[in-house]
């Protein structure tokens, strides 16, 4: 079993729903800043008013009096700023101020003067001035003063004042009255008020009325209204949702662009999805940057330029607070060989609560033999709610020989639904003879989609002689790419004489990574005699995977072609891995190359492992050296080892030895 660090090809972090981050605030505390509050309105909604000459407060920078005084110092008798000293050696402009401070101070003075004019006009009964002043105070958070002016202007019929009074009342918790003023403003044609009213009605469960007002806001060019309308329609599974998300996204709403991309991706249109992810990511949408990175990585096919671009988007997303992007970037860096940088990003993600990153760190430390650090990060993953942490703790304990603790961790993860932990727990129970306890966990693992669980369940049934059930589970595992399960099916097909079916299953087994499957496939093709090149390919696949008989076969084929160095290399690999046939063949090859002493060593190793021909060869060599007792001993062993032909020859040689010794 392998440590789980990354959850599948592509096993990549899924995106979650994000709150609307594109709301335009009308004041220092928007309604969105509190749980359950309505999104803030567009700034343009605040400045909405009947046409009037001159500049309104929206076009100026508003600086409180204290900040203004801090910037320019105290005022002299003529109202001019006193000269201020800059840092030592810094150049000052002719007025004695650096340009930035001068511009700030000038804007503040203009704003203060404008506020004073609005206040004077409002106190004199001008409703438009009252609206402007109330809006300015609302922005500054001076709600009590703002309310009086906004009420006066709203009572005079100014829709901008009614809208902004609704915002103020909503912030104060007076939602019913806020809705009344928003309705008045919306009826008068205010798109921001229609949007706010629509959201309030939606939250009250009045979806039809909410849709009407959101539609009104969207039709009047309000991007937030279009987004909220799309959101409502998507909730209802209305296909028109995509249209309104697009309207909002085209107007610059990054969350709408992200939602549109998700819809396109779910529909299988990854090209369009990628384009919208780019749009949202370019506006610093963290999850869009994450998904864009995932799509680029998926279609990279190893192309470095796309992997580099994916890394850039992961980095941007991570820097904007998306822990899953930091985790994904860590895997990308690991795959490129930069483990140090990968560990840094994983740690950042893990400390932000990403269990997958914590598991990756644990696996990294476990691979280095740092069990204590690995355990720390696996526990961190578990604390983050990732049950892979419990499973990996089980693997860690099992590797350290702490079987009882391993079983406890497997059991914890299994009860939490971790399918591979179910399989691991079943294996532990079966190994100690508890077949009845193991079977339900194998079943649970298999039903949850564990191919190893399905295969093991097949093995369990096969051990009981329940071949039909065994074949069903093998077939289920093989369908998911389990090579050893396909091998079991192939062997049955070959035994039944269904060579075509066997070949198909052997190919499936070989493709699933079964070295035995590759060897058997090559053997069948070899016997058939019409696919020599393909047979050698599969022998080579199996041999490279460490299959000893395949290595011997590769050695034999190389020797037949006269490629003795290649043959010797394959024989040595197999012989050193314990193949007695390879040891014997290596001895023969060395003997032909006049390396008799080394050949004797390999003959002996093969004979000690039970190779009859090697024992017979040693008997003949002993007889040639004039060592009849040794020859007799090797003859007896050759007779015991077989096969029949070797035993017969060894018997004749032994009889001749006895006759010679008795004479």
pLDDT tens string 336-350: 999 999 999 999 999
- From residue 641, alpha-carbon distances to 7, 227, 355, 487, 584 in Å are 50, 82, 57, 30, 14
pLDDT value at residue 179: 96
CATH number of 548-609: 1.25.40.10
Domains in the chain: boundaries: 481-545, 548-609, 611-662
Contact yes or no for 255/284 (Cβ under 8 A):
no
Contact yes or no for 458/477 (Cβ under 8 A):
yes
Burial label for 176, CB within 10 Å (0-12, 13-18, 19+), is exposed
pLDDT value at residue 315: 97
Percent of the chain whose pLDDT exceeds 90:
79
- Per DSSP, the three-state class of 361 is helix
Residues near 419 by Cβ (< 8 Å), separated by ≥ 6? 444, 445, 448, 449, 450, 453
The CATH number for 481-545, chosen from 3.90.79.10, 3.30.70.141, 1.25.40.10, 3.40.605.10, is: 1.25.40.10
What is the rounded CA–CA span in Å between residue 617 and residue 638?
9
pLDDT value at residue 6: 35
pLDDT value at residue 8: 35
Mean pLDDT for the stretch of residues 538-565: 95
Mean pLDDT for the stretch of residues 457-461: 94
pLDDT value at residue 16: 29
Query: What digits encode the pLDDT tens for the residues 260-292?
Result: 999 999 999 999 999 999 999 999 999 999 999
Looking at the predicted structure, is the pLDDT value of residue 572 above 60? Answer: yes
Long-range pairs for 238-243: beta carbons < 8 A, 24 or more residues apart = none
Query: What digits encode the pLDDT tens for the residues 42-98?
Result: 333 333 333 333 322 232 233 343 332 333 333 332 233 222 223 333 333 333 445
User: Minimal CA–CA distance to 244: which of 224, 262, 264?
Assistant: 224
Q: Does this model's pTM top 0.75? A: no
Backbone angles phi, psi at 611, to 5 degrees: -85, 115
Burial label for 396, CB within 10 Å (0-12, 13-18, 19+), is buried
Query: What digits encode the pLDDT tens for the residues 624-661?
Result: 998 989 999 999 999 999 999 999 999 999 888 877 66
Looking at the predicted structure, is the pLDDT value of residue 22 above 90? Answer: no
Question: What does 393-423 look like in DSSP terms, one character per residue?
Answer: HHHHHHHTT-HHHHHHHHHHHHHTT-HHHHH
What is the rounded CA–CA span in Å between residue 567 and residue 577?
16
Looking at the predicted structure, is the pLDDT value of residue 206 above 70? Answer: yes
């Amino acid at each position: 079993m392998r440590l789980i660090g990354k959850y599948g090809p592509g096993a990549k972090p899924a995106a979650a729903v994000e709150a609307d981050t594109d709301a335009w605030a009308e004041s220092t505390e928007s309604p969105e800043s509190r749980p359950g509050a309505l999104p803030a309105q567009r700034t343009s909604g605040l400045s909405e008013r009947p046409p009037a000459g001159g500049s309104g407060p929206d076009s100026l920078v508003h600086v409180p009096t204290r900040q203004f005084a801090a910037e320019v110092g105290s005022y002299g008798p003529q109202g001019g700023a006193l000269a201020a000293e800059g840092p030592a050696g810094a150049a000052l402009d002719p007025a004695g101020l650096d340009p930035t401070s001068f511009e700030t101070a000038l804007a503040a003075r203009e704003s203060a003067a404008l506020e004073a004019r609005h206040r004077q006009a409002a106190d004199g009964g001008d409703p438009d001035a009252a609206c402007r002043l109330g809006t300015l105070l609302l922005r500054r958070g001076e709600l009590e003063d703002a309310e009086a002016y906004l009420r006066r202007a709203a009572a005079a019929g100014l829709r901008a004042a009614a809208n902004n009074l609704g915002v103020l009342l909503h912030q104060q918790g007076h939602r019913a009255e806020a809705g009344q003023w928003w309705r008045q403003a919306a009826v008068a044609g205010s798109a921001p008020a229609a949007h706010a009213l629509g959201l309030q009605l939606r939250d009250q469960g009045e979806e039809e009325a909410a849709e009407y007002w959101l539609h009104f806001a969207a039709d009047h060019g309000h991007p937030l209204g279009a987004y909220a309308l799309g959101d409502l329609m998507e909730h209802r599974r209305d296909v028109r949702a995509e249209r309104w998300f697009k309207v909002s996204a085209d107007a610059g709403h990054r969350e709408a662009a992200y939602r549109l991309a998700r819809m396109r991706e779910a529909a299988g249109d990854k090209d369009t999805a990628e384009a919208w992810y780019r749009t949202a990511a370019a506006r610093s949408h963290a999850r869009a940057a994450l998904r864009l990175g995932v799509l680029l990585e998926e279609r990279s096919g190893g192309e470095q330029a796309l992997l580099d671009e994916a890394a850039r988007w992961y980095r941007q997303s991570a820097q904007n607070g998306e822990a899953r992007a930091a985790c994904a970037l860590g895997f990308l860096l690991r795959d490129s060989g930069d483990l140090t940088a990968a560990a840094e990003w994983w740690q950042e993600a893990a400390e932000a609560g990403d269990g997958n990153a914590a598991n990756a760190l644990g696996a990294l430390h476990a691979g280095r033999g740092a069990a204590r650090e690995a355990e720390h990060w696996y526990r961190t993953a578990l604390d983050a709610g990732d049950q892979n942490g419990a499973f990996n703790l089980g693997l860690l304990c099992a590797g350290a020989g702490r079987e009882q603790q391993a079983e406890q961790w497997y059991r914890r993860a299994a009860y939490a639904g971790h399918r591979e932990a179910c399989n691991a727990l079943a294996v532990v129970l079966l190994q100690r003879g508890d077949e009845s306890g193991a079977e339900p966990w194998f079943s649970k693992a298999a039903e949850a989609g564990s191919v190893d669980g399905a295969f093991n369940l097949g093995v369990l049934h096969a051990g009981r002689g329940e071949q039909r059930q065994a074949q069903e589970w093998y077939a289920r595992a093989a369908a998911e790419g389990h090579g050893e399960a396909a091998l079991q099916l192939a062997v049955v097909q070959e035994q039944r004489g269904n060579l075509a079916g066997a070949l198909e299953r052997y190919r499936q087994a070989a493709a699933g990574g079964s070295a035995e499957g590759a060897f058997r496939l090559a053997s069948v093709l070899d016997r058939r005699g019409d696919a020599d090149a393909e047979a050698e390919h599969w022998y080579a696949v199996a041999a490279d995977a460490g299959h000893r008989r395949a290595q011997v076969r590769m050695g034999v084929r190389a020797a037949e072609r006269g490629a003795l160095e290649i043959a010797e290399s394959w024989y040595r690999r197999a012989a050193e891995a314990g193949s007695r046939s390879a040891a014997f063949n290596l001895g023969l090859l060395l003997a032909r190359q006049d390396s008799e002493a080394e050949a004797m060593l390999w003959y002996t190793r093969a004979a000690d492992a039970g190779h009859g021909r090697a024992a017979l060869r040693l008997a003949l060599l002993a007889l040639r050296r004039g060592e009849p007792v040794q020859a007799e001993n090797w003859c007896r062993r050759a007779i015991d080892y077989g096969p029949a032909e070797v035993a017969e020859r060894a018997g004749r040689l032994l009889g001749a030895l006895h006759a010679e010794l008795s004479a």
